[in-house]
Structure 1
Amino acid sequence: MAYESRSRPEEVPALLAELGPEVAAALLAPRLAQFAAVARLEHVTRAAQLLAMPQPTLSRAVARLEEELGVALLARQGRTVRLTRAGRVLLGSVERALAELERGAEAARAEADPAAGRVAFGFLHTMGTDTVPALLRGFRAEHPRVRFQLVQDYVTAMLDRLRAGELDLCLVSPLPDAPDLVARPLDEQRLYLAVPADHRLAGRRRIRLAEVAEEPFVAVRRGYGLRGLLERFCGEAGFTPKVAFEGEEAETLRGLVAAGLGVALLPPSLVARPGVVELDVTAPRTRRAIGLAWVSGRPVTPPVAAFRDFVLSRRGRLLDHD
């Protein structure tokens, strides 16, 4: 340690206090575990054998700990030792800390267990009704004990959580173009124009997006992938959408459409919604790419790698739920 050759014994406790709790704990941690072994066995030689270290080295380590803390921890009686009152106080804290460390280590091992580890998986709200359950069902058929933390969010928030390490993988649209992320396309989904059943265009099967340039739109909030796509496609059609109402979920938007409050560009509904008609858009080509994203270069656990490989194997079939 940097201070050993420059500090007098009486200066060490004050120096440790100046270093701050994190640095001081890191310096003391090895000797605290050694002290705990001696304290439990009340015998330096047996503790040294247990720790597979020379007895003189262990004796010096405990003595150095006492010097660093500025208090006697052990009363030596020949080859045996007894805890002082200060030693008993410290031993209780050390044993609780060591037990907590072991629990943490066990939890970390459990996260990476190939058979029963955990995958933190984020996905779009519109993927949660059918696509994601189908993926999980298929994967769990071969990996029945793997656990999942599922997060539904909009693209920007999910990518932030992915970078922060809160998520392992994200099912996103549009695919991010960032040097710190890997994104693999999986499938393409058609977006339809949802109109009220009594709308002037409801009897049509196909329309051009420019035909609703003057209509009020209902849309998800900015930051959601669908909002960005709406603005892009409308821009390609030569207009800026007039958004009258904003929501967070496709089914909420369909309810607003059914109430006659506007039109919406949405993925297909799995179940026909009364009061809503979905129209094919012929110009521009309203499609969205859906893909899987993860952080480039970040190591992944075996269960995460297995699920990533499974999802990638569904390329071109992601939206097939049979």
Structure 2
Amino acid sequence: MQGRNRKDIPERLRSAAAPTAPEAAELGPDSWALTLAPRLAQFAAVARHEHVTRAAHELGMPQPTLSRALVRLEQDLGVALFARHGRTLSLTPAGRAFRTAAERALTDLERATDEVRADADPAAGKVAFGFLHTLGSETVPGLLRGFRADHPGIRFQLVQNYGEAMIERLRAGDLDLCLTSPVPDYPDLVARRLDEQKLRLVVPDDHRLAGRKRIRLAEAAGELFVTLEPGYGLRRITDALCTEAGFTPRIAFEGEEAETLRGLVAAGLGVALLPPPAVPRPGVAELTVTAPRAVREIGVAWLDGRVDTPPVTAFKKFLLSRRGALLP
């Protein structure tokens, strides 16, 4: 707290127009915070100078106004914070304890202010960006490389998860944007389709179908499937495509990550509908599905009505400019 001057203190904290204790009590369980917050800087300045006139000069407010604010603060708390000695003051034991808490609160407020201002900086701010695990090895790194060519200072908080979990984090304010599939359709979200990705039927390399290049999904009706767990977008797509092909898949294993499923297929434990791998995996054959049309749409989503910071606006504009060219 040493060295704090008037320009460091937010105007709201310098103001003496705080609610009285009875007024704040009507505002609910946070009443004391509402009552005390505007007065912390005033109290801290007087405590530091032990002189109302010098503190008022630092704060840029009339000395009588500051004096009245201190008296009202003591009345609201029901304790004496200062002992008066003519024109000077000294802290009481209660005042010393309160000063420690006030300075800590003001320091925390300044730190939080610095952080949120830094995150919103157009040139060096932060974007909290979520995406599917299957987009993490190749698609997202390529996107970030392209974006940072023109915005080298912008920072990213990257979150990999499945679609519904990312949507909940959007709603909670933990994410600014997310890439997901299927493209969500909820009234509280805005979503834009960016691209689509072909899905393949992945079978063990010694499977009876491994020599084929193309297959109708109905031909795999008798196979055991390995899939993602319920709630994952790719699982919903798999179930829907199998239904369209005229059968309900028999599930042998459920997992949380596409490459784990590929490993299960390579071990001969079933077949799977999966997007192409970043790097070909030995032990499997990947067949083009000719019917039904086996694709998954990839989209970007954000919370409707949320005010974007300049870095988020820039990255959102970049993603939308990649429609039809998102995937490598």
Fold match by TM threshold 0.5: yes
* Counterpart contact for 2:21–2:76, Cα < 8 Å: no
Separation in structure 2 between the aligned mates of residue 56 and residue 126 of structure 1, nearest angstrom: 65
Flag structure 2 segments of 5+ consecutive residues without an equivalent: 1-18
Letter of the 1:185 partner, please give it. R
Aligned to 2:248: 240
- In structure 2, relative to structure 1, the CA distance for the partners of 1:224 and 1:4 (3 Å cut) is closer
Aligned to 1:268: 276
Q: What is the alpha-carbon distance in structure 1 between the residues aligned to residue 165 and residue 313 of structure 2? A: 23
1:184 aligns with 2:192: yes
| C-alpha separation in 1, matches of 2:164 and 2:27 | 39
Q: Distance in 1 between matches of 2:219 and 2:200?
A: 14
Counterparts of 2:281 and 2:43, CA distance in 1? 70
Matched, 1:38 2:46: yes
Q: 2:119 aligns with which of 82, 89, 111?
A: 111
CA distance in 2, matches of 1:169, 1:199: 41
Is structure 2 residue 312 aligned with structure 1 residue 304?
Answer: yes
- How many angstroms does 1:226 deviate by? 0.6
Deviation at 1:89, TM superposition (A): 2.2
The counterpart of 1:86, out of the listed 84, 94, 99, is: 94
Q: Does 1:175 align with 2:180?
A: no
Which residue is 1:314 aligned to? 322
| Cα separation, partners in 2 of 1:146 and 1:220, compared to 1, 3 Å | same
Identify which of 138, 162, 174 aligns with 2:170: 162
Q: Cα deviations across residues 246-296 of structure 1 (Å, max 9, x unaligned)?
A: 111111111111111111000012322112111111110001110100011
Report the equivalent of 2:14. none
1:225 corresponds to which of 233, 247, 252 = 233
Letter of the structure 1 residue corresponding to residue 297 of structure 2: A
Secondary structure, aligned partner of 2:322: coil
Say if 1:88 and 1:20 are closer, same or farther in 2 by CA, change over 3 A.
farther
1-structure distance, mates of 2:268, 2:97: 72
Partner of 1:215: 223
Cα contact 1:123–1:171 (8 A) shared by 2: yes
Q: Identity of aligned pairs, percent?
A: 69
What amino acid is the match of 1:74? Answer: F
Alignment of 1:44-83 (within 5 A): 44-83=52-91
Cα distance in 2, alignment partners of residues 254 and 117 from structure 1: 38
- Which region of structure 1 is more displaced relative to structure 2, 43-52 or 284-293? 43-52
Go from structure 1 to structure 2 and tell me whether the alpha carbon gap of 1:28 and 1:251 turns closer, same or farther (over 3 Å shift): same
Residues 133-182 of structure 1: per-residue CA shift (max 9 Å, x gap): 10111112222221111111111111011111111100001001111111
Q: CA deviation at 1:19?
A: 8.6
Alpha-carbon separation, structure 1, partners of 2:28 and 2:47: 26
Contact 1:124/1:172, CA 8 A, preserved across alignment: yes
Q: Which runs of 5+ in 1 are unaligned?
A: 6-14
Q: For residue 212 of structure 2, what is the aligned residue in structure 1? A: 204
Aligned partner of residue 273 in structure 2, secondary structure: strand
What is the SS of the residue equivalent to 2:137? Answer: coil
SS in 2 for 1:232: helix
Q: Shift of residue 81 of structure 1?
A: 2.0
CA distance in structure 1 between the partners assigned to 2:289 and 2:67 by the alignment:
81
SS of alignment partner, residue 152 of structure 2? coil
* SS of equivalent residue, structure 1 residue 262: coil
Amino acid of the structure 2 residue aligned with 1:27: T
Cα distance in 2 for residues equivalent to 1:32 and 1:151: 38
Contact 1:119 1:168 in 2 (8 A): yes
Distance 1:4 1:123 in 2: 49
Corresponding residue for residue 140 of structure 1: 148
> Aligned equivalents of 2:69 and 2:105: distance in 1?
19
For 2:90, give the aligned amino acid.
Answer: R
Q: Aligned letter for 2:257?
A: E
User: Which amino acid in structure 2 is aligned with residue 156 of structure 1?
Assistant: E
* Deviating more after overlay: 110-119 vs 217-226: 110-119
Residue 267 of structure 2 corresponds to: 259
> Deviations along 1:167-221, whole A, 9 cap, x unmatched?
1100001001111111111111100000111111111111110001010001111
Q: CA RMSD in A?
A: 1.9
> Is the partner of 1:269 in helix, strand or coil?
coil
Is contact 1:32-1:65 (8 Å) kept?
A: no
Count of aligned residue pairs for this structure pair: 310
Structure 2 length normalisation: TM-score? 0.90
- Quote how far apart the aligned CAs of 1:20 are: 7.8
